[in-house]
């Protein structure tokens, strides 16, 4: 029997996640889609599909009968709204929460990197996940790039990891645009905590090109010198792991290596002058096109990763 999920946020991410659960999940079903705009396309689409809706946010959801049956809550709102939402959910500690905002309240989860570690810690002895230990999905850019930093870290000590996420402007809704600062801060922190870099930096670009381009990500790492073939193999293995839940995730070009010699070091803020092995990885993420077109790979990787975590939480 499938367990019920509620999705808070009826924008691009919430609607895409709703359709993914309907089409792909063997563990979950959508109990309710929640928004604050009764005229939103997401709520209208949910109604047409026979799914319960609420246009009064978390406060309205808690008053509904379906609330009692909800086991997993996916928060696809904004960092600021998430802080409000978790205060409302605190009296219900048995509700499991997957945070798709860059609020960074709970532990970061990148399924291909620390999926089992974080979940086994929270699910030990079937202990309910409390609202002070919400599983946070970092950011779309983080989901795409941090696995690569982690892949290099498994072979060599990474001094610095920098990622540049370029997404189609049309795939960036108001929630994404309102959270640019949170995106860069959360992603940079997760590059260090999950990716294993001593120092992390994140940049996001909203590409206005027409026709819209698919999500492209660039990952730079500066590490100690190590076997390049081992690093290449680790990266390819990590790409294959991500592809298990995001089929459109691929290397755009082969891995590139450059030496930064000791007599020509580069200056890294917070670390000073460093030398070593520079690794460059170019990625492409093509969306599944469940709700938005294929160029919205930034949505696809976020919702796909969140669904994988949500299913594991109730498994």
Which active-site residues does the annotation give?
Answer: 140
Distances (CA, A) of 156 to 233, 235, 239: 13, 12, 18
Q: Copy the structure tokens of residue 273.
A: 């002058």
* Distance in angstroms (rounded) separating the CA atoms of residues 173 and 157: 37
Degrees (nearest 5) of the Cα angle 303, 308, 314?
125
Which tokens hold the place of 126?
């079937």
């Amino acid at each position: 029997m499938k367990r019920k999920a509620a999705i808070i946020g009826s924008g691009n991410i919430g609607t895409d996640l709703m359709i993914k659960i309907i089409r792909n999940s063997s563990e979950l079903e959508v109990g309710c889609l929640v928004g604050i705009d009764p005229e939103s396309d997401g709520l209208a689409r949910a109604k047409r599909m026979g799914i319960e809706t609420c246009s009064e946010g978390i406060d309205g959801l808690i008053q509904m009968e379906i609330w009692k049956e909800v086991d997993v809550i996916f928060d696809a709102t904004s960092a600021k709204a998430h802080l409000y939402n978790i205060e409302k959910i605190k009296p219900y500690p048995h509700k499991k929460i997957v945070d798709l905002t860059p609020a960074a309240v709970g532990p970061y989860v990148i399924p291909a990197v620390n999926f089992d570690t974080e979940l086994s810690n929270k699910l030990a002895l079937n202990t309910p996940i409390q609202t002070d230990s919400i599983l946070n999905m970092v950011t779309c850019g983080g989901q795409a790039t941090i696995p690569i930093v982690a892949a290099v870290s498994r072979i060599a000590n990474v001094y610095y990891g920098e990622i540049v996420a370029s997404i189609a402007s049309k795939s960036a809704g108001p929630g994404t645009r309102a959270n640019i600062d949170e995106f860069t801060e959360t992603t940079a922190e997760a590059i260090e905590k999950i990716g294993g870099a001593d120092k992390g930096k994140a940049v996001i670009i909203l590409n206005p090109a027409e026709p819209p381009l698919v999500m492209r990500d660039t990952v730079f790492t500066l590490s100690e010198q190590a076997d390049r073939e081992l690093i290449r193999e680790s990266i390819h293995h990590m790409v294959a792991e991500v592809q298990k839940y995001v089929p459109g995730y691929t290397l755009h070009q082969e891995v590139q290596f450059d030496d930064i010699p000791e007599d020509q070091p580069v200056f890294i803020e917070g670390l000073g002058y460093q030398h070593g092995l520079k690794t460059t990885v170019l990625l492409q993420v093509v969306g599944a096109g469940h709700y938005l077109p294929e160029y919205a790979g930034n949505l696809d990787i976020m919702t796909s990763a969140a669904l994988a975590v949500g299913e594991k939480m109730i498994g």
